[in-house]
Structure formats: C-alpha cells, structure tokens
C-alpha cells in the first residue's frame, strides 16, 4: 500500500515599516521592506504622502505593505511578521491598546480587514534602529 504525503509549505514574510512627518502635521512619507524567511528582499517601497501626521504615515506604511502582499503573493499559507518602530501602531493593531483617535479608525479598520484576508499578521514593536 502506498502512502501519500502532503507537504504543507508556509511562506514566512518579514515586514519592516516606518512612517514619519516633519512637524505634526507636516510633510510626510512612509517606507517598508518585505523579505522572505531566509532574509531575501522581495520588495521595498517608500513614498511621499503629502501633509499629514506621523501616526497616519506610520499606519499608511503598514497598509501599503499589506496591500502589496495581497496583490503580489499567493495569499494562502503565509506567516506574516510585521515589525513597526511605532509602539502605538504595534500595540493598537495587536489589540492591546485602544484606538482613541477617530481619524485613525478608518485606516486601522482597512488594515485589520486586510490582515484577516491574509490569514493574520503578528505585529511587533522594535526600536527605531531596527527599521
């Protein structure tokens, strides 16, 4: 009797995000990198996003990174680990901090929905030197 084995391959992604504004609000931009589990860079992106707050820039980086994953990779069988230098972002998206700022709720809702569609995201705060 032959046995059939199925190998379940999970693709591990490591995402680093950052957003910043000069002044708050002020001219702002975001950036992110996406690597596989072996550290191979798959994509990097950064963009000026106009006049906005630092927090909006930070959340925009997360949203744009997850949108890129959804558009460009097989979204089944992913393990996504996202590292943000904003403690607020990591803690709010993990559900440990409440979301008080009304203007952030729409973008956070988009991120959460996208995270569910991607099978979940692990959010971790890292210091600025790591991003």
- Please state the pTM of the whole predicted model: 0.91
Tell me whether residue 2 is in a domain.
Answer: no
Question: Around 62, how many Cα atoms within 13 Å sit in the side-chain half-sphere?
Answer: 34
Tell me whether residue 33 is in a domain.
Answer: yes
Distance CA 118, CA 76 (A): 7
Q: Phi and psi (nearest 5°) for 78?
A: -110, 145
| 9 — pLDDT class (breaks 50, 70, 90) | confident
**How confident is the model at residue 10, as a pLDDT?**
86
Provide DSSP, 52-112. E-HHHHHHHHHHHHHHHHHHHS--SSEEEEEEES-HHHHHHHHTSS----GGGHHHHHHHH
Tell me whether residue 70 is in a domain.
Answer: yes
| Mean of pLDDT values over 113-129 | 94
Strand order across the beta sheet in which 11-21 lies:
41-52, 26-36, 11-21, 78-84, 121-125
| 81 — pLDDT class (breaks 50, 70, 90) | very high
**How confident is the model at residue 7, as a pLDDT?**
61
Average pLDDT over the chain, rounded to an integer: 94
pLDDT at position 131 over 60? no
The CATH number given to whatever domain includes residue 49 is 3.30.420.10
Tell me whether residue 5 is in a domain.
Answer: no
Tell me whether residue 106 is in a domain.
Answer: yes
| pLDDT above 70 as % of the chain | 92
| Mean of pLDDT values over 86-107 | 97
Asked whether 16 and 37 are in contact (CB, 8 A), the reply is no
Number of domains in the chain: 1
**DSSP state, residue 16:** E
Q: Residue 106 belongs to what domain range?
A: 11-130
Convert the pLDDT of each residue in 16-70 to its tens digit.
999 999 999 999 999 999 999 999 999 999 999 999 999 999 999 999 999 999 9
Tell me whether residue 118 is in a domain.
Answer: yes
Find tokens 């943000």 and name the residue: 84
Tell me whether residue 47 is in a domain.
Answer: yes
**How confident is the model at residue 113, as a pLDDT?**
97
Distance CA 118, CA 79 (A): 9
pLDDT at position 95 over 80? yes
Tell me whether residue 4 is in a domain.
Answer: no
């Amino acid at each position: 009797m032959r046995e059939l084995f199925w190998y379940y391959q999970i693709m591990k992604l490591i995402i680093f995000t950052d957003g910043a504004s000069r002044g708050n609000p002020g001219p702002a931009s975001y950036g992110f990198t996406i690597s596989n589990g072996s550290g191979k860079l798959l994509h990097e992106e950064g963009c000026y996003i106009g006049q906005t707050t630092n927090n909006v820039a930070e959340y925009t980086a997360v949203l744009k990174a997850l949108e890129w994953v959804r558009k460009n990779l097989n979204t089944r069988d992913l393990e996504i680990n996202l590292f943000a230098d904003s403690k607020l972002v990591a803690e709010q998206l993990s559900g440990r901090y409440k979301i008080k700022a009304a203007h952030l709720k729409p973008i956070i809702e988009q991120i959460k929905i996208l995270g569910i569609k991607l099978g979940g995201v692990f959010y971790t705060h890292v210091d600025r030197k790591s991003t």
